[in-house]
Structure 1
Amino acid sequence: MILSLTLIIIIYQTFISIQKQNNDTVISNHFVTMIDRFFSIPAYSLPLLEGLQNFGQQILPDYPFSLMSIYKKTLMPLVIIYVTHPNWAFIIFLLLYYLFVRPNSPIPNRPFLKFNVIQALLLFLINSLLGATFRALPIEFRMSLYGLMLCNTLFWFVLLTITYSVIKSVQGKYAKIPVISQAVKIQIDNRN
């Protein structure tokens, strides 16, 4: 638990220092409307549900009862739907790709919205890869102390990255996640 909290503090401080060092915007300044802010947030539900499915189900029962009861009332019904209908994630991924990432997408050019959707799709793919890799590890390791520590660390990485991105979206600013945001910027620059 102490290792996880230390890692969370390190990740948080890294995000803060990167944000302070890079005051320039990721993409050229465009006016960010409330519509862009509002519609950029739901895209992050896909990587959040993937992270909760991959890591949250294993470690959340060990958390205090108050946190678990909040989780059961808010996100658990969505995770159950997500787990029971895995095809929906694939359909939503393809729909978001069709609407925002494709060169001839039907949505008009909205850089802020496109940035957040592509970033959410990349986070989803990273969460899927991390989850598949973790599940491929031997069960003895996954259930050991080190496996639970790794699962806890991955869970908090997913949760903090998505929370940071959503907060930046609400503020109308571009989230600057190392490597991921740079890949999104390259993707958007290549499309324009």
Structure 2
Amino acid sequence: MANQLPIWIIVIISTLVSGIISILIYQLYLYILQNKNNTKKSNITLVDRLGSILPYWLPLLEGLQNFGQQILPDYPFSLMSIYKKTLMPIVIFYVTHPALAFIIFFILYYLFVRAKSPIPDRPFIRFNVLQSILLFLINSLLGATFRALPIEFRMSLYGFMLCNTLFWFVLSTITYAFIKSIQGKYAQIPVISQAVKIQINNRL
């Protein structure tokens, strides 16, 4: 793997990151601006939206552990500096406590996914919790598969490209679901969202 990325890759990565951040800020602005109108048109409350955002931290941290740690050091220094000041301490805590992911997984399952859940039925939160669990399992499977590849391949340019692709797949999918949660809308991720709807017996 080269120590320095080509300038065109840096430009593309910087553009993607800037675009994602801009979209998040814009969606937050729209939500605050149109909060009253949205409340009248939908029975999805502010509690539902905030509660639906939190579970996505689990697949995000799993993706950063599996792929982000390997490729982020080769990104432009400014991006790495932002990562070190924001997400890196949380990722380090997550990595050093491997049982934490499974504890959170089972807590989410017990509280929101089980048929006899102690939490009152809130379809929007339940949908996003189950979707975040599926994303977590997919990230774990992709991470285990990638680590099972020969180290020669993983350290090569092709391994870096594969890891980079998987990282952006994880990040873009979670960002999309995050934005939809802020909007109070159900995310439509191919296959995953359909599987979630089937699992909760088409109650949406």
TM-score range relative to shorter protein: 0.7 to 0.9
% same residue: 76
Q: What does 1:38-187 correspond to in 2, within 5 Å?
A: 38-187=50-199
Task: Give the secondary-structure state (helix, strand or coil) at the position aligned to 1:189.
Answer: coil
Change (3 A) 1:30 1:108: farther
Which consecutive aligned stretches of 4+ in structure 1 deviate over 3 angstroms post-superposition?
A: 1-6
Q: Calculate the TM-score normalised by the size of structure 2.
A: 0.80
Q: CA deviation at 1:146?
A: 0.5
Query: Kindly tell me: are residues 88 and 159 of structure 1, through their superposed partners in 2, closer, same or farther at Cα, counting changes over 3 Å?
Result: same
Partner of 1:25: none
Matched residue type, 1:142? R
| SS of structure 2 residue aligned to 1:120 | helix
Separation in structure 2 between the aligned mates of residue 30 and residue 178 of structure 1, nearest angstrom: 24
Q: Distance in 2 between matches of 1:3 and 1:134?
A: 22
* 1:189 to partner: Cα distance: 1.3
For the pair shown, the structure with the greater C-alpha radius of gyration is: 2
The answer as to whether partners of 1:103 and 1:191 remain within 8 angstroms in 2 is no
Which amino acid in the other structure matches residue 45 of structure 2?
A: T
Deviation at 1:31, TM superposition (A): 1.4
**Bigger RCO of structures 1 and 2 (CA < 8 A, at least 6 apart):** 1
Structure 2 stretches lacking a partner, 5+ long = 1-5, 17-40
Letter of the structure 2 residue corresponding to residue 52 of structure 1:
L
